[in-house]
Amino acid sequence: MREHAVVVVGAGPTGMMLAGELALAGVDVAIVERRPNQELAGTRAGGLSARTLEVLDQRGIVDRFLAEGQIAQVTGFAVTRLDISDFPTRHNYGLALRQKHIERILAAWVGELAVPIYRSLEVTGFAQDDTGVTLELSDASQLRAGYLVGCDGGRSLVRKAAGIEFPGWDPTTGNILAEVEMEEEPPLGIHRTALGIYAFGREEYEIHDGKIVFAKEGPIGLMVPEKNAGATTEPTLGDLKEALIAAFGTDYGLHRVNWISRFTDISRQATAYRKGRVFLAGDAAHVHSPVGGQGLNTGVQDAVNLGWKLAQVVKGTSPDALLDTYHAERHPVAARVLRTTMAQVALQRTDDRTEALRDIVTELLGMEEPRKRIAAEMSGLGIHYDLGDGHPLLGRRMPDLDLVTSDGPVRVFALLRDARPILLNLGAPGSLDIASWSDRITLVDARYDGAFELPALGVVSAPTALLIRPDGYVAWVGDRTQDGLQKAMNTWFRPPG
């Protein structure tokens, strides 16, 4: 029987990001994926948020994505675009990039890290005991893992087999997505009608002055509203024709479907992200409408939160209790995402009362304070883990400061490339001594002369030292004293026992 320290089920963006995080930490991790290759039929997520770009920057791979995507101010709430170009981050924008390209780039990175992927296989069941999990695979073989992570989507077998409940709200709206061939070109772009929102576009596009300019050739991608939000049969060419004729009086000579799927505003969240040695991440833990573009990004950030914690426990440098902080930190984040997506779906309705409400919300989001707060949330830059009272930086993402060290200039994110915790000393060099922790925490003496500024919050007081977790969040802030440092190091990085 093949054995690995961790087995990840699902080679989507969440699963591959998690596998990459674990491999960086030197953990033996493998992925089980039902697809024979990384090809992805259909259009799913369409981009990366500012915080996800920061996370990829922390690992030194963001340029791979920037080279293939389109930088734009794509952060938004319902139909309102939110400009984040004045936010204090190197990535004060979103990146328009199809999920199939995101997956391809992540797969190449995971390949460089020598993570094995068992393809054309599905997990059909598993049993966990005190020392690990035994997985039953679709080819009648078995895998043994110390820990199992389900990144296998909204219909997650891992979640179901673990007996984790998935409560929430049933769909109220439905949409059909398809790539089709037409004799006539439909009006490209987004159209609000009395029947709902329709959209037409092409796979290839560029962004100029914040506007999408589609290629002139190629199949048409379309989105049409569905009459029955709870439909259980597969959508058809006839359904598309009917929807187009109802809204536009023509089907534009629609005659071929290359692929077709649907999405709804169903909103559900797992009651527990952990059950013993089994964990959930990404869509396996939370599903919601794609409006706002937070699904893939939330999943990738789930992976980065869980990865370093799981690595430390697997390697015996932290006790098992550290893994409980994964649910404690990430469950509230996704719960908030579900609420914001439900609100956005409500604002997209086309009746007169919703139009009036949308006008008011648009007016509010045109004001500086509401715009900054909602944009920080939608871009992921406003995530705040509850790590106690204290400095505003505590529990928030560490800004990517330009530091000066004895070895020369360096960015904070460059210090996080190896996914190790950093104790950043901005006071007198040599004033912090963590010799007994040097095997698990990297001490960096540096100078920084600028301001500390956070999205939405603005400038905050400059600390003299910070303890930065491998995921880039601040676990302790020192202000001319070392009060609480020992406790923080014990909380996050103490050895078991």
pLDDT, tens only, 375-424? 999 999 999 999 988 899 999 999 999 999 999 999 999 999 999 999 99
pLDDT in tens, 222-279: 888 887 777 778 888 888 898 899 889 999 998 998 888 888 889 999 999 999 999 9
Q: Are residues 162 and 240 in the same domain?
A: no
> How much is the pLDDT for 209?
60
Global pTM reads 0.93
Q: Are residues 161 and 182 in the same domain?
A: no
> How much is the pLDDT for 34?
94
Q: Are residues 200 and 212 in the same domain?
A: yes
Inside any domain, residue 383: no
Q: Are residues 30 and 146 in the same domain?
A: yes
- CA dist list (Å): 160 to 11, 156, 163, 471: 19, 6, 5, 29
> How much is the pLDDT for 229?
75
- Say which CATH number the domain at 258 has: 3.30.70.2450
Q: Which two tokens stand for residue 109?
A: 């990175």
Inside any domain, residue 240: yes
Inside any domain, residue 133: yes
Instruction: Pick 309 or 260 by higher pLDDT.
Output: 309
pLDDT in tens, 41-77: 655 567 899 999 999 999 999 999 999 999 988 888 9
The parent domain of residue 331 ranges over 2-168+268-378
Q: Are residues 213 and 155 in the same domain?
A: no
- Say which CATH number the domain at 438 has: 3.40.30.120
Q: Looking at residues 5-20, what average pLDDT do you find?
A: 97
Q: Are residues 87 and 206 in the same domain?
A: no
Q: Are residues 240 and 334 in the same domain?
A: no
Burial tier of 136 (Cβ tally within 10 Å: 0-12, 13-18, 19+): middle
Inside any domain, residue 143: yes
Instruction: Pick 432 or 4 by higher pLDDT.
Output: 4
204 falls in which pLDDT band (50, 70, 90)?
Answer: low
CA distance 473 to 222: 39
Q: Among 318, 343, 378, where does a domain finish?
A: 378
Task: 424-427: list long-range contacts, CB under 8 Å, 24+ apart.
Answer: 424/465, 424/466, 424/467, 424/468, 425/464, 425/465, 426/462, 426/463, 426/464, 426/465, 426/466, 427/464, 427/465, 427/478, 427/480
- On whether the CB atoms of residues 312 and 322 are closer than 8 A, the answer is yes
pLDDT of 17 above 60:
yes
Q: Are residues 251 and 272 in the same domain?
A: no
Q: Among 328, 363, 378, where does a domain finish?
A: 378
Which residues, including other chains, have CB under 8 Å from residue 97's CB and lie 6 or more apart?
A: 46, 47, 48, 65, 68, 69, 70
> How much is the pLDDT for 462?
92
Q: Among 378, 393, 422, where does a domain finish?
A: 378
Q: Are residues 424 and 482 in the same domain?
A: yes
Inside any domain, residue 41: yes
Q: Closest Cα to residue 95, out of 62, 66, 56?
A: 66
Q: Closest Cα to residue 323, out of 287, 282, 272, 284?
A: 272
- On whether the CB atoms of residues 166 and 25 are closer than 8 A, the answer is no
- On whether the CB atoms of residues 283 and 154 are closer than 8 A, the answer is yes
Q: Are residues 479 and 334 in the same domain?
A: no
pLDDT of 495 above 80:
no
Q: Are residues 185 and 161 in the same domain?
A: no
Secondary structure (3-state) at 6? strand
CA distance 366 to 358: 12
Inside any domain, residue 390: no
Q: Looking at residues 84-101, what average pLDDT do you find?
A: 94
| Helix boundaries (H) for 315-394 | 324-347, 352-365, 368-378
Inside any domain, residue 438: yes
- Say which CATH number the domain at 365 has: 3.50.50.60
Inside any domain, residue 347: yes
Count of the separate structural domains present in the chain? 3
Q: Are residues 131 and 227 in the same domain?
A: no
> How much is the pLDDT for 196?
82
Instruction: Pick 57 or 172 by higher pLDDT.
Output: 57
pLDDT of 191 above 70:
yes
Q: Looking at residues 144-155, what average pLDDT do you find?
A: 97
- On whether the CB atoms of residues 41 and 131 are closer than 8 A, the answer is no
